[in-house]
Amino acid sequence: MAEDPEDRVPENKVSPPDRRYPDAKALNAKKKVGQVQSTGHVWDGIEEYDNPLPRWWLWTFYACILYALIYGVLYPSWPMVNRATPGLLGYSTRGAVATDIQRFADANGPIRTRVEGADLTAIAADPVLLQYATSAGASVFRTNCSQCHGLGAAGVQAAGYPNLLDDDWLWGGDVTNIHATITHGIRNTTDPDARYSEMPKFGELLNRDEIGQLVQHVRAISGQDHDAALATPGATLFADNCAACHGDAGLGNRDLGAPNLTDAIWLYGGDVAALTTTITNARFGVMPNWNTRLSEADIRSVAVYVHGLGGGE
Amino acid sequence: MTSQHTPSLYAGREPIFPRRVKGSFRTLKWWLLALTLGIYYVTPWLRWDRGPNMPDQAVLIDLSGRRFFFFMIEIWPHEFYFVAGLLIMAGLGLFLFTSALGRVWCGYACPQTVWTDLFILVERWIEGDRNARLRLHRQGWNLDKARKRAAKWFVWLLIAVATGGAWVFYFADAPTLLHGLVTGQAHPVAWITIAGLTATTFVFGGFMREQICIYACPWPRIQAAMMDEDTITVAYRGWRGEPRGKLHKGAVAPADAQGDCIDCMACVNVCPTGIDIRDGQQLACITCALCIDACDDTMTKIGKPRGLIDYLALTDEVAERAGTTPKSVWKHILRPRTILYTVLWTAVGAGLVVALFLRSDIGLHVTPVRNPTFVTLSDGAIRNTYDLRLLNKHGDARIFAISLTSDARLDLTLEGQTAQTVTVPGNATSTQRIYVVAPAGSQAAGEDRTHLRLWVGDLGNTDRIHSDTIFNGKDD
């Protein structure tokens, strides 16, 4: 008749005695009590239990294994000697990228056709075409042109890559001329229509003193500090040797790509050393032709972009 | 130890059937319920004219357009700090109310309380008061029970759908979206959101109820930290009520033989979270004060003074037990802590209002082109390029005039424009590239940095804003 203490409801039962439901106490007392598995190892009176893994964890684990097996069959996963198993679905990240590129190419198709057909000057007048051409041109420039002309299109004076931001153009700064320069390039051997001119190596034709006089004359006509005594004979030398290409006043000739020697912009430098090197050894800047590498729409876009960088005529 | 009594750590929910109660706090709760639900359901339908091409809904969160409209106020994404400020004010307001009056948010204004209250009201209308609901709960399933439960769930579902619907109406134009929902043309996101909120309202208000307050919500545990000995909260005057015992009519007992509490269980039966307030303030007590109304009702019936359960502070208990007069309510509410919260709350609010009025309807952000920092032109002049972001917050297109002021001589031209003006569409931003040129040999051309200020003026009115930037010259 004595109540078995193990049958009594434990004191740390969660819910307090509930007077609203008199049968709740009995309900709680009927709950079963479980045995805990043990590994049998005991240290300092602390026993190591062997509780089973939680069921939710175990079944999630099985599900992951099943998922891995299915994945291994469907997708590229097992490495072999030269490649991996291709997977039944034929998926590859390269293929996915190619699909993406094709999707954009298809979406851009109509406006690219319009850019190809429009007059170069008309593109700047149409806001939709201008916006596309500028964005596409910026992207083309970044990928193809920035290696020489710089990401900011400021050029590299040490290498003679022109600054495309200023208003000084060797072969013409209107959008048609820019387009022609990009299409055919300058002094390259791959395109017969490439712009071509050649400055002679005056080191083989004139002596050091004469070149020195020429340098001073060039510094004089460009408004820099110069030695007037040397510049006077230099002017005569200039008229004899240089005016044919650079013009009598040194204003340059865009048909020949001969620079304007009177302005503040120098492709290779306007200091005495640079001018001396230029006259002695000449310069032969080369630009590749892009008609074999870029589509017409891309060439037109980057021409419009460059024209809109601030120096376009 | 290979066997032990491990108590079950899982306790199933025991359903609670709060009894109907009448009293001043119950009335207050009904008024607040009507007010909060009214605001929630009606606000999306309020209109505010903002001109053509602009939404005419008074309160609208336009996610795709990235705008927040609140009557005459229009917030752009870069002004999100207003929302942050409002959230800070909400937090400070909560601290203020809780430290002064205890868990009034939980008991009166919290959406969980309001909707649970509404659902319990529906339950009482359909299934009857507490005793009837208890009988229905205990009996087996028959036609009557099925009918009542179905009716109740149907009404709950209607309320839940209306609740989910009202939510999505804040994010789209309400009449248009309602038409879209009815004709089946609405965006799937609207349907999914309504479905989700219907499910949560139905489950939270119909079945989970106090489980949210006790287990899911973090506020009960935070609010305990905000209450102190002067906080006015719901408490049982044990010194008056104990020892409790059944009322014996006609018996004459000494004055201190029995307390005022007659163990009528009214306070327990009306409690929506199922606690006994006579055990003291506890986590599950949301201080809804229905037990106060219930006990006052009983006290009035047996001719005893009200207030056996009442709003009082801990210091009041100390004072009353000692027989001294407790502090007045205002002395409880107005103390350094609450005053500090009020001051902070007001300061943040004032800051927001001031910022709101100091905003301009046009905006300017200047990004100088850094690669290269300057360009030399043929005549030796130095040119800098800047990209301007122009914001037009008006509903209609405006013409912006761009100019500059500087100590040095600088000339300004706009890319692609002949004049120094640019048209910006309404409620939009546009980018404009500008060129600033310092003539050859001028001061700015030769110095590394020259300060200049760019101005943008709205030609339609006198609005003018400016932004300071730097001109880089060729510093040889």
CA-CA-CA-CA torsion sign (B284, B290, B293, B294): negative
Most A CBs within 10 Å, among B4, B6, B8, to test the A interface: B8
Residues of chain B contacting A33 with CB distance shorter than 8 Å: 3-6
Residues of chain B contacting A168 with CB distance shorter than 8 Å: 377-378
Q: How far is A165 from chain B (nearest CA, A)?
A: 7
Average pLDDT, chain B: 91
Contact between chains at A166 and B5 (C-beta distance less than 8 A):
no
Residue-level pLDDT at B462: 85
Average pLDDT over residues A227-256: 93
Domains of chain A (ranges; CATH) run: 109-196+287-307 (1.10.760.10), 202-281 (1.10.760.10)
Residues of chain A contacting B377 with CB distance shorter than 8 Å: 166-168, 264-265
Q: Return d(Cα B58, Cα B71) in angstroms, integer.
A: 5
Lowest-pLDDT choice from A16-25, A179-188, A259-268, B316-325: A16-25
What does the H/E/C string look like for B124-183?
HHHHCCHHHHHHHHHCCCCHHHHHHHHHHHHHHHHHHHHHHHHHHHCCCCHHHHHHHHHH
> How many residues are present in chain B?
476
Q: Taking Cα atoms as reference points, which of B212, B197, B11, B233 lies closest to residue B116?
A: B212
Q: Where are the domains of chain B?
A: 24-225, 226-338, 362-472
At A253, the pLDDT band (50, 70, 90 cuts) reads very high
Q: How far is A61 from chain B (nearest CA, A)?
A: 25
Q: Return d(Cα B224, Cα B282) in angstroms, integer.
A: 9
Q: How far is A310 from chain B (nearest CA, A)?
A: 7
Calculate the CA B216 to chain-centre distance.
18
In this predicted model, what pLDDT tens digit does every residue of A53-81 receive, in sequence order? 888 999 999 999 999 999 999 999 999 99
Among B1, B9, B372, the residue with its CB nearest the CB of A154 is B372
Residue B12: closest CA among chain A residues belongs to which residue?
Answer: A15
Most B CBs within 10 Å, among A8, A163, A167, A221, to test the B interface: A167
Q: Return d(Cα A262, Cα A236) in angstroms, integer.
A: 17
Average pLDDT over residues A286-304: 96
- Provide the CATH number for the domain formed by B362-472 in this structure: 2.60.40.10
In this predicted model, what pLDDT tens digit does every residue of A93-110 receive, in sequence order? 999 999 999 999 999 999
Residue B369: closest CA among chain A residues belongs to which residue?
Answer: A152
Residues of chain B contacting A47 with CB distance shorter than 8 Å: 1
Contact between chains at A21 and B377 (C-beta distance less than 8 A):
no
Reported ipTM: 0.75
pLDDT at A111 over 60: yes
Residue-level pLDDT at A5: 52
What does the H/E/C string look like for chain B?
CCECCCCCCCCCCCCCCCCCCCCHHHHHHHHHHHHHHHHHHHHHHCECCCCCCCCCECEEEECCCCEEEECCEEECHHHCHHHHHHHHHHHHHHHHHHHHHCCHHHHHHCHHHHHHHHHHHHHHHHHCCHHHHHHHHHCCCCHHHHHHHHHHHHHHHHHHHHHHHHHHHCCCCHHHHHHHHHHCCCCHHHHHHHHHHHHHHHHHHHHHCHHHHHHHCCHHHHHHHHCCCCCCEEEECHHHHCCCCCCCCCCCCCCCCCCCCCCCCHHHHHCCCCCCHHHCCCCCCCCCCHHHHHHHHHHHHCCCCCCCEEEECHHHHHHHHHCCCCCCHHHHHCCHHHHHHHHHHHHHHHHHHHHHHHCCCEEEEEEECCCCCCEECCCCCEEEEEEEEEEECCCCCEEEEEEEEECCCCEEEECCCCCCEEEECCCEEEEEEEEEEECCCCHHHHCCEEEEEEEEEECCCCCEEEEEEEEECCCC
Among B6, B14, B378, the residue with its CB nearest the CB of A166 is B378
Average pLDDT over residues A115-140: 93
Residue-level pLDDT at A192: 95
Contact between chains at B379 and A38 (C-beta distance less than 8 A):
no
Residues of chain B contacting A35 with CB distance shorter than 8 Å: 2-3
At A40, the pLDDT band (50, 70, 90 cuts) reads confident
CB atoms within 10 A of CB A168: 21
pLDDT tens-place values along chain B, 476 residues long: 445 566 677 777 889 999 999 999 999 999 999 999 999 999 999 999 988 888 999 999 999 889 999 998 889 998 999 999 999 999 999 999 999 999 999 999 999 999 999 999 999 999 999 999 999 999 999 999 999 999 999 999 999 999 999 999 999 999 999 999 999 999 999 999 999 999 999 999 999 999 999 989 998 888 878 899 999 999 999 999 888 888 777 665 565 578 899 999 999 999 999 999 999 989 999 999 999 999 999 999 999 999 999 999 999 999 999 999 888 888 899 999 999 999 999 999 999 999 998 888 899 999 999 999 999 999 999 999 999 999 998 888 999 999 999 999 999 999 888 899 999 998 889 999 999 999 998 999 999 999 999 999 999 888 899 999 999 998 76
Q: Taking Cα atoms as reference points, which of A158, A178, A161, A310 lies closest to residue A254?
A: A178
Q: How far is B286 from chain A (nearest CA, A)?
A: 19
Q: How far is B134 from chain A (nearest CA, A)?
A: 10
Chain position carrying tokens 């802590």 = B337
Contact between chains at B377 and A265 (C-beta distance less than 8 A):
yes
To the question of pTM greater than 0.95 for the whole model, the response is: no
Calculate the CA B347 to chain-centre distance.
19
Residue-level pLDDT at A1: 46
Residue B386: closest CA among chain A residues belongs to which residue?
Answer: A310
Q: In the A/B pair of chains, how many CB contacts fall below 8 A?
A: 79
At A18, the pLDDT band (50, 70, 90 cuts) reads low
Which structure tokens are listed for B252? 């004459």
Contact between chains at A310 and B7 (C-beta distance less than 8 A):
no
Residues of A with CB under 8 A from a CB of B: 6, 10, 12-15, 18-21, 24, 31, 33-36, 38, 47, 130, 150-152, 154, 163, 165-168, 223, 260, 263-265, 308, 310-311
Residue-level pLDDT at B418: 85
Residue-level pLDDT at B460: 83
Q: How far is B260 from chain A (nearest CA, A)?
A: 20
Q: Within an 8 Å CB–CB cutoff, is residue B440 touching chain A?
A: yes
Residue A265: closest CA among chain B residues belongs to which residue?
Answer: B378
Residue-level pLDDT at A16: 58
Residue-level pLDDT at A12: 52
Residues of chain A contacting B14 with CB distance shorter than 8 Å: 15, 18, 21, 24
Contact between chains at B14 and A24 (C-beta distance less than 8 A):
yes
Among A31, A36, A166, the residue with its CB nearest the CB of B376 is A166
Looking at chain B from residue 377 to 436, which residues have their Cβ under 8 Å from any Cβ of chain A? 377-380, 383, 385, 415-416, 435
Q: Within an 8 Å CB–CB cutoff, is residue B280 touching chain A?
A: no
